[in-house]
């Protein structure tokens, strides 16, 4: 079999040639306890960052979803599409305005948001998954009353700013997602939602928040958030301060001091655990098959949020371990979009 090169693939190791049959068997046996523990469990994954831009990483993500499904887990994907939205707005000559790093969503921009999320990002991912069988089905927060939201005016530099058609979820009716899971499908959910008071008005929802709300509503065992960093650091930019495990209350106390891009992701983790989800994970989506590494290995990767405990740091790893990571090619996710 040809060894694949380029972003999203390891060029220095060929699993087909460089592992003995015994080593391959050992890898599978090592995953057995986790396969047994998570069989039948629901896992909500927020798909974002470079994993949704780089073609090889997108294929790896689709393979991970199929793998989870085939071994008995129930993956549910929530996605945004900030970079794709920005690209389409620019192509259409619509100016993007940001305040405090947050996108202002005008009615004109909202039409583009809906078009890109449901007509492009969702369809591409569904197509990649369905090359492995008729598994994935798409829906948005508008469908079957999945999400209901209210328009928000976030506090920016001490002032409540009007960002237009931007909202936050206030209720979830997960019955349609439940139906898809029971049918043996992989739901792919776009993060837009109708306004609670006027269902004809659609709001742009941050995908991290949407994933957390859905995870709580469907009784997920895990929430996994893909991003463009290795995890949460206790003392950024000290690379040796990467947190492996953190308790819920400790994380809650850290939220006000977190960087703008990381805060909505960690708030989503807090929201998920407050809603009954057992564990939440922030992992590096630039690494191919990072989801499988998190779920089916003893050490895992990234940062895991649990209900009890303080902070445990992850042991520093040599740079050679991360040679297959794809460098950032777009700005990291922010709270600005459903990205």
Neighbours of 41 (CB within 10 A): 17
Nearest-10 Cα torsion for 301, 307, 308, 309: 30
In the Cβ-directed half-sphere of 325, how many Cα atoms lie within 13 Å?
Answer: 17
Token pair 């445990």 in the structure block, residue: 312
The pLDDT value recorded for residue 334 is 40
Question: What pLDDT, on a 0 to 100 scale, did the predictor assign at position 300?
Answer: 86
Evaluate if residue 37 carries a pLDDT over 90.
yes
- Taking the C-alpha atoms of residue 86 and residue 79, their distance in angstroms, rounded to an integer, is 15
Question: Which residue in this structure is represented by tokens 């469908």?
Answer: 143
Interatomic CA distance for residues 189 and 141, integer angstroms: 7
DSSP-derived 3-state class of residue 338: coil
User: Across the chain, how many H-helices and E-strands are there?
Assistant: 11, 17
Q: What percent of the chain has pLDDT over 90?
A: 71
Q: What is the mean pLDDT of residues 174-203?
A: 97
Higher per-residue confidence, 299 vs 11: 299
Q: What domains are there in the chain, each with its CATH number?
A: 39-322 (3.40.1160.10)
Q: What is the pLDDT of residue 42?
A: 98
Query: How far is it, in rounded angstroms, from Cα 248 to Cα 212?
Result: 14
Provide the pLDDT confidence category of residue 154 given band limits of 50, 70 and 90: confident
Q: Residue 6 pLDDT more than 60?
A: no
pLDDT average, residue stretch 256-266: 89
pLDDT exceeding 70 applies to what percent of the chain? 88
Residue 68 pLDDT greater than 80, yes or no: yes
pLDDT value at residue 17: 78
DSSP secondary structure code for residue 195 in this structure: B
Tokens, residue 153: 């005016």
pTM over 0.85: yes
């Amino acid at each position: 079999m040809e060894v694949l090169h380029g972003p999203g693939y390891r060029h220095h190791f060929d699993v087909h040639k460089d592992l003995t049959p015994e080593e391959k068997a050992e890898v599978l046996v090592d995953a057995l306890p986790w396969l047994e523990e998570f069989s039948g469990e629901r896992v909500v994954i927020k798909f974002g960052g470079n994993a949704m831009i780089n073609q090889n990483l997108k294929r790896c993500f689709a393979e991970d979803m199929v793998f989870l499904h085939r071994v008995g887990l129930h993956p549910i994907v929530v996605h945004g599409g900030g970079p794709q939205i920005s690209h389409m707005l620019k192509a259409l000559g619509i100016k993007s305005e940001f305040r405090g790093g947050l996108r202002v969503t005008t009615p004109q921009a909202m039409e583009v948001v809906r078009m890109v999320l449901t007509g492009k990002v969702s369809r591409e991912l569904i197509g990649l998954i369905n090359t492995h069988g008729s598994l994935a089905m798409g829906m948005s927060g508008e469908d079957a009353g999945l999400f209901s939201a209210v328009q928000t005016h976030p506090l920016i530099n001490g002032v409540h700013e009007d960002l237009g058609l931007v909202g936050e979820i206030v209720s979830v009716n997960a019955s349609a997602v439940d139906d898809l899971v029971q049918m043996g499908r992989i739901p792919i959910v776009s993060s837009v939602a109708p306004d609670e008071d006027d269902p004809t008005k659609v709001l742009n929802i941050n995908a991290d928040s949407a994933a957390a709300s859905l995870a709580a509503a469907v009784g997920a065992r895990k929430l996994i958030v893909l991003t463009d960093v290795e995890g949460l650091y206790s003392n950024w930019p000290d690379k040796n301060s990467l947190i492996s495990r953190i308790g819920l209350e400790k994380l809650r106390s850290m939220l006000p001091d977190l960087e703008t891009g990381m805060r909505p992701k960690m708030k989503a983790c807090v929201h998920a655990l407050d809603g009954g989800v057992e564990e939440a994970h922030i992992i590096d989506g630039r690494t191919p098959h990072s989801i499988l590494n998190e779920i089916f290995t003893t050490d895992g990767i990234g940062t895991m949020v649990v209900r009890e405990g303080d902070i445990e740091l992850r042991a520093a790893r040599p740079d050679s371990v991360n040679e297959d990571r794809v460098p950032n090619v777009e700005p990291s996710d922010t709270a600005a979009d459903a990205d």
